[in-house]
Amino acid sequence: MNLPKEDKLPVNLLSACFASTSATYKYYWFLSILQAVEDGNYKIQKKELFARMISNAWYTVNYFKVSYGKQDVIQETVSAIKDIENIDIDEKSKVICEKLVGSNKKETLKLLWHFDKNVPHWFQSSWFPKMDKVDIYKASTAFEEKCLYGLYRDEIVINPIWVNYLVENSKILKDFCYWNLALFLQNKNPNVPDIPNKLIKPAIRNSLTKQRTGFWDIVIKELGTVDCIYTGSELTIANYAVEHFVPYSFVSHDLIWNLIPANKSFNSAKSDKLPPLEKYFDSFFSLQHTAIEIVRRKNPNNKFLEDYLTIFPDLQSDISKEKFRDTIQPLITIASKNGFLFMQ
């Protein structure tokens, strides 16, 4: 994905900022600049940009628990600030940013200003490849080499010749950042599914009503009741929740092979915890296998049966516990390594 060209601007130098990256700082820094410019700000406080960096990474770190690698401190900074400021993991990005900008807590300020050591000036190193930090600051204030912004102790000032370009191409530039950020994080998390959709908090989670009425209601109507695999309580068609066996915050999908009916109260308490397979997999598989047989018999063209085809290419004869476990086990293992906790 290439940046939009502009004859009078050294867009090639802006592209070069992202040519070699060992951490995510540059992506989050530039995203934060674009967001501030979209708000009409061209003289931007560094503290605001650092706060935006944290708020932009907030959901990816706290909810989806994506690994950023050992060289990147954004992950541990987000986690630390969450505890220091007592901010909920589901808080809106705008609110998080405002809280951090307004915070005077020494621990938070130290964590935010850590990024000032390298990020603001090294981002412009493609304009000033042979200069050190002091010289980059000095050259940038005169907008030498048509650099993107001038650097000062507490703020940056967008170079006026770049303003229209940033404003007019804001969406494309943000997409460019997210695309490259996704590639970077996918490389750090090769077995974690759906990284691109874990970069931004979705406005609304998809409802599971269709999976309930179109699949599990059919099963429970046929059986009368089913037992919750977690609590053993009896579930009826009027009283159950549809829950993700492997947490949604890891798999980031609503495929029916990972969904089962469960006790409503337990479903709420389970949250994003992982189920120990040695305790729950046999019951999970048994319920799934029974459901497949019932739905296939009652409605062989049911669209939710297609969700199983990636695991069982032939639902007529290929439904084995071993294949199902071979799909679930790696997901549980990787999620655990990324910080998801097991149910107690």
Q: Digits of tens for pLDDT over the chain (344 positions)?
A: 689 999 999 999 999 998 878 889 999 999 999 999 999 999 999 999 999 999 999 999 999 999 998 888 999 999 999 999 999 988 999 999 999 999 999 999 999 999 999 999 999 999 999 999 999 999 999 999 999 999 999 999 999 999 999 999 999 999 999 999 999 999 999 999 999 999 987 766 788 999 999 999 999 999 999 999 999 999 999 999 999 999 998 998 999 999 999 999 999 999 899 999 999 999 999 999 999 999 999 999 999 999 999 899 888 777 899 999 999 999 999 999 888 999 98
Q: What is the pLDDT of residue 313?
A: 87
Of residues 324, 344, 180, 334, the one with CA closest to residue 250:
334
Sheet containing 149-151, strands listed edge to edge, beginning at the edge strand earlier in sequence = 43-45, 155-158, 149-151
CA atoms of 35 and 13, how far apart (whole Å): 21
Write out pLDDT tens, residues 53-89. Answer: 999 999 999 999 999 988 889 999 999 999 999 999 8
CA angle 19, 21, 25 (to 5 degrees): 120
Instruction: Find out whether 287 and 228 touch, Cβ atoms under 8 Å.
Output: no
pLDDT for 203 = 64
Contact 344, 278 (CB under 8 A): no
Q: Are 156 and 49 in contact (CB under 8 A)?
A: yes
Phi, psi dihedral angles at 224 (to 5 degrees): 90, -55
114 is written with which tokens? 């850590």
Domains of the chain by residue range: 11-197, 209-337
Backbone φ and ψ of 239, nearest 5° = -145, 75
State the burial class of residue 116 (Cβ atoms within 10 Å of its Cβ: 0-12, 13-18, 19+): middle
**What predicted TM-score, i.e. pTM, was given to this entire model?**
0.85
Strands (E), the chain: 43-45, 149-151, 155-158, 226-227, 234-235, 241-244, 259-262
Tell me if 109 sits within 8 A of 93, measured CB to CB.
no
Contact 209, 219 (CB under 8 A): no
Are the C-beta atoms of residues 192 and 338 closer than 8 Å to each other?
yes
Longest CA span, the chain: 76
Write phi, then psi, for 166 (nearest 5 degrees): -65, -40
Q: Taking each helix axis as running N to C, give the angle between helix 160-168 and helix 25-38, from 0 to 180 degrees, rounded to the nearest 10.
A: 90
pLDDT at residue 93 in the model = 92
254-312 residue pLDDT tens: 999 999 999 999 999 998 999 999 999 999 999 999 999 999 999 999 999 999 998 99
Cβ-in-10-Å burial (0-12, 13-18, 19+) of 84 comes to middle
